Amino acid sequence: MTSTDAASQNQKLLLIDGHSLAFRSFYGTPVDVFVNSQGQHTNAVHGFLSTLLSLIKSEKPSHIVAAFDLAGGTFRTEEYGEYKGGRAETPQEFLGQVELIQRLLEQLNIPSVTVERFEADDIVATLAKIGQQEGMEVEIVSGDRDAFQLVNDTVTVLYPVTTGPSKGIRRMDPAAVEEKYKIPPHLYPDLAAITGEQADNLPGVPGVGPGFAAKWINEYGNLDGIIENKEKIKGKKGEALREHLDDVLRNRRLNRLVDDLELPITLADAAEFGPRDPETLNELFDELEFRSIRQRLAEVFSDLAQAAAARIDISVESVQTIESAQEFSDFVEGALAAITAAERPVAVPERLARALVLYPVVDEDAAEAGNAHEQNLTGAVLLGGARAGWIKFAEIDAATEKALSDWLADENQKKIVFDTKLNVKSLAARGFRLAGVVEDPVLSSYVCGHVPSARRRFFEAMMEDLTDAYLRTEFPKAEVKESAQGELFSLEAEVDLEYVALVARYIQELAYALHADLAEQNQLKLYEEIELPLATVLAQMERAGIAVDSTVLAELKDHYNTFIKQATEEAYRLIDHEVNLGSPKQLQAVLFEELELPTTRKLKSGYSTDAESMADLLTRIDPDSKGAQFLLALQMYRDYTKLKQTVEGLQKATAEDGRIHTTFQQNVAATGRLSSTDPNLQNIPIRTEEGRKIRGAFVVDPRTVDGQQYSTLLTADYSQIEMRIMVHLAQDEKLIEAYESGEDLHRFVGSEVFGVAPEDVTPEMRAKVKAMSYGLAYGLSRFGLSKQLGIPVEEAAQLTVNYFKRFGDVGRFLRGTLKEAHQDGYTETMFGRRRNLPDLGSSNRARREAAERAALNAPIQGSAADIMKIAMINVAARLEAEGLKTRMLLQIHDELILEVAPGEEEAAAAVLSEEMSRAVELRVPLDVQVGSGTSWHEAGH
């Protein structure tokens, strides 16, 4: 091989030991899941490609080569016929998969190299040497420890780990090798020569492990030094070394990798990787019957293509301070023209070609970083192309303010914003109405599958993640911006205009990239018709809040304190001393030492004292015993303490206007459901009467609010919506008939499953089939059902069998859903919302089964979430269209709560019932139950 057209410095060569990765992919990917209709197993191919795509995305190599072994002997087997002789026979399911991998690599233009009489390791060693000579960083993907001898400051082994807690890729750099083996990498062959290599059937010195071998190497320098001093090594290990010295020397000859082979490729051949012909590649995927990974491959190589194209210049040409209505009008016109005139490697999506970025600026001294509050806006940046305009709210005259207000409220004036809901609220607090939003990276990234963790939901963290994922660049930090950019603008301002304008540019580029991703994933309709309009509805609900009666909250707190005191005193009496009932450590001592109760689940800190463990323990002991009475007191203490904490949270969250303004999180649940925080109103307990009392504190506001009075609360919820969706999707005619006839579904199912007349279905039977029906919708296994109902696994299994005998379409639907999820890697709701489930292919059984449960549940729960969102949008629109003063306050699970103006109760009830029931057309009716009252509890039904 020559170095002609070789790589320059700062490029990265990725070398793959093909057989090694293929075998590890085979054992790390379920065999029974990946098999095509011709009976050819493809799990190794899928695992190999999945790892390859992950490496391309994470490591960003400039060159890739895969090396493979050839059938037949090598120079090593010529010297030692037993070399690799102890390996198990190749599994039948693996046969043919290497050839498929090589065909796939050919279609991706990645060289597959073989050399007669030499192994893939030798090819890798040769290529690694050439790569280093050309100043490249080299990464070797291999599960063969012999590759560790190649590790140095510019060569890293990426060692695949397919099992255990460290599953994934382990980076073996010099420090990692030395930490594990206590010797530098170049001496690893000496250590392996002494200890032998079981995988290669090379016996070492009996009784000498890596620890002793490393000790000898460190003492004598290397294997040659050990041999020179072999007589000094005493004891049985020294004797064994001298007796097996020939084996050691043979091992060292065989484990040395050859790095000077003549190869049939050059480095230039490794640089042009990527799909050769999409049609031929698709034909191969059709043969393999791979579905979801096609999309992943397209995304990875699309990212590479975009990165290789001329990089978009994310900079700002100028910032204009807008001080008059005419300047505002002129700027908008000029900025729109700048968008269409800009030269770009990829065209601006048509929908966004007439959209300006609106970036309201927050007073950073008065707001938390990345978490703006309504009253803290000081101005706004408008941006189109690379032209930015700055409007300072405190200094604009009435005419300019009106021009801005008209533009903001105009649906035809398209805007790009980051976090629509927050900006609707923030601008409304200053008297502005925001309309015409066509792109919001917070929402579009969520629809595309980016669900931020709790720590990554604030502005800067999200921008960092999204710019890395979609723009392949780093989001600029405010503190490093000056040294990186210099003094671009000379404008004097209280805010750093240079930086906020640059942020607006990043938002603009994100909007373009995400819009393209939405279109590619076929998610635009979901985004534009559900998520985007919902953000404004949620903003209005958050601004409205819901009134609470502080007196009721105070009385509830005292009420719960009484029971907490009673439970505490009873617990003290039973054990004849005080104990901190909130301390797991002290409870362990009382329960398992003092009361000598049976132990629970083992933890690092002792035995579990959580609620589930205590409830289970209560079933295993004499109900009249002192231990049982103590557990009941503990349970009472915990229940009322939790209720008290809920009340205290509500008291703390009550604003000066006497209302609680929760925050609805629109982009945190993978299923599409909304969640509530600060405070979490979806967590208000409803299963017990004591918990339901808390809802009595949520009341219609007795005061006049913004010049408007309200007379009652109206609630409406969907009855059994998830069951109805499952029946609709399964198209089970028996269940559809039951719903259409108005029968009690669970009683009907009970009569079928237990083979009795409907009137003979007992409450216990009904409870069992209800739990099973909902369990099926949530992917509950027979073990989960057994635990939930407290019945033997065998009985739970028989219940499931009987259920599917009577309702076979449900079973076929669930099996089909799971099969499609395995094929696609994701599930979809009725409205096309995707939930990606990468763990469906996991070799970890617990993770794979959790993903399978999610696959069964997501289409049902996600469809229910989508239906509720559609209903909310339609209810809000109709209230406005009919000129009603009634307003929507809360969405809790499958329930909506409205605050009704005097005289509007009948009209508002009609709006709720009609819009919720016709949000979607199902094979079964959507049943909506409506109630009213002066409190949430009273309005419940």
Strands 318-321 and 387-392: parallel
Strands 414-416 and 437-439: parallel
- Cα–Cα distance between 735 and 746 in angstroms, integer? 10
Structure tokens at 758: 């409907």
CATH number of the domain enclosing 100:
3.40.50.1010
Examine the fold and report which residue of 247, 268, 299 is the final residue of a domain before the chain moves on: 299
Spell out the SS3 assignment of 609-628.
CCHHHHHHHHCCCCCCCHHH
Residue indicated by tokens 């005191």: 565
Q: Are 314 and 286 within one domain?
A: no
For the chain, how are helix, strand and coil distributed in percent, rounded to 5?
55, 15, 35
Q: What is the pLDDT of residue 45?
A: 94
Q: Are 564 and 420 within one domain?
A: no
CA 20 to each of CA 121, 129, 160, 252, 254: distance values in angstroms, whole numbers, following the listed order = 10, 20, 9, 21, 18
Please report which helix (H) or strand (E) contains residue 745, including its range. Answer: helix 745-754
Higher pLDDT, 313 or 335: 335
Higher pLDDT, 570 or 940: 570
Q: Average pLDDT in the 685-693 region?
A: 87
Tell me the Ramachandran region of residue 679: left when phi exceeds 0, alpha when psi lies from -120 to 50, beta otherwise. beta
Q: Which tens digit of pLDDT belongs to each residue from 596-637?
A: 999 999 888 889 999 989 998 998 999 999 999 999 999 999
Look up the domain containing 765 and give its range: 721-859
User: What does pLDDT average to over the chain?
Assistant: 87
Check if the beta carbon of residue 4 is closer than 8 Å to that of residue 270. no
Q: What is the pLDDT of residue 363?
A: 66
Check if the beta carbon of residue 886 is closer than 8 Å to that of residue 932. no
Domain assignment of residue 240, yes or no:
no
Smallest CA-to-CA distance from 141 within 51, 69, 260 is with 51
Check if the beta carbon of residue 67 is closer than 8 Å to that of residue 114. yes
Alpha helices in 166-209 (DSSP H): 174-181, 188-195
Q: Average pLDDT in the 253-277 region?
A: 90
Residue 382 exposed, middle or buried by CB count within 10 Å (0-12, 13-18, 19+): buried
Q: Count CB neighbours of 480 within 10 A.
A: 10
What's the farthest any 2 CA atoms get from each other in the chain? Answer: 105
Higher pLDDT, 354 or 89: 354
Lowest mean pLDDT among 304-318, 424-438, 580-594: 304-318
- Cα–Cα distance between 297 and 127 in angstroms, integer? 26
Q: Are 137 and 162 within one domain?
A: yes
pLDDT band at 261 (very low <50, low <70, confident <90, very high): very high
Residues 6+ apart with CB under 8 A from 173: 151, 156
pLDDT band at 164 (very low <50, low <70, confident <90, very high): very low
Q: Are 733 and 619 within one domain?
A: no
Q: Are 31 and 140 within one domain?
A: yes
Q: Which tens digit of pLDDT belongs to each residue from 353-408?
A: 999 999 998 765 544 433 444 457 889 999 999 999 999 988 889 999 999 999 99
- Kindly report whether the peptide bond that precedes residue 792 is cis, defined as omega within 30 degrees of 0: no
Lowest mean pLDDT among 1-15, 691-705, 730-744, 836-850: 1-15
Q: What is the pLDDT of residue 921?
A: 93
Examine the fold and report which residue of 859, 882, 909 is the final residue of a domain before the chain moves on: 859
Q: Are 54 and 164 within one domain?
A: yes
With 60 as the cut, is the pLDDT of residue 492 above it? Answer: no
With 90 as the cut, is the pLDDT of residue 890 above it? Answer: yes
Q: Are 455 and 418 within one domain?
A: yes
Check if the beta carbon of residue 835 is closer than 8 Å to that of residue 670. yes
CATH number of the domain enclosing 769:
1.10.150.20
CA 80 to each of CA 86, 242, 838: distance values in angstroms, whole numbers, following the listed order = 13, 20, 44
Count: domains in the chain: 4
Examine the fold and report which residue of 859, 883, 907 is the final residue of a domain before the chain moves on: 859
Domain assignment of residue 262, yes or no:
yes
Q: Are 656 and 551 within one domain?
A: yes
With 70 as the cut, is the pLDDT of residue 345 above it? Answer: no
pLDDT band at 64 (very low <50, low <70, confident <90, very high): very high
Smallest CA-to-CA distance from 27 within 160, 190, 177 is with 160
Higher pLDDT, 141 or 476: 141
With 60 as the cut, is the pLDDT of residue 200 above it? Answer: yes
Residues 6+ apart with CB under 8 A from 392: 321, 378, 379, 493, 494
Higher pLDDT, 907 or 342: 907
Domain assignment of residue 848, yes or no:
yes
Domain assignment of residue 678, yes or no:
no
Strands 712-718 and 928-933: antiparallel
Q: Are 533 and 551 within one domain?
A: no
Residues 6+ apart with CB under 8 A from 687: none
Domain assignment of residue 2, yes or no:
no
Q: Which tens digit of pLDDT belongs to each residue from 247-259?
A: 999 989 998 999 9
Q: Are 151 and 21 within one domain?
A: yes
- Kindly report whether the peptide bond that precedes residue 679 is cis, defined as omega within 30 degrees of 0: yes
3-state secondary structure (DSSP) of residue 546: strand
Q: What is the pLDDT of residue 306?
A: 55
Q: Are 475 and 620 within one domain?
A: no
pLDDT band at 685 (very low <50, low <70, confident <90, very high): confident
- Give the amino acid at 593: E
Q: What is the pTM of this model?
A: 0.71
Strands 202-203 and 698-699: unpaired
Q: Average pLDDT in the 722-740 region?
A: 91
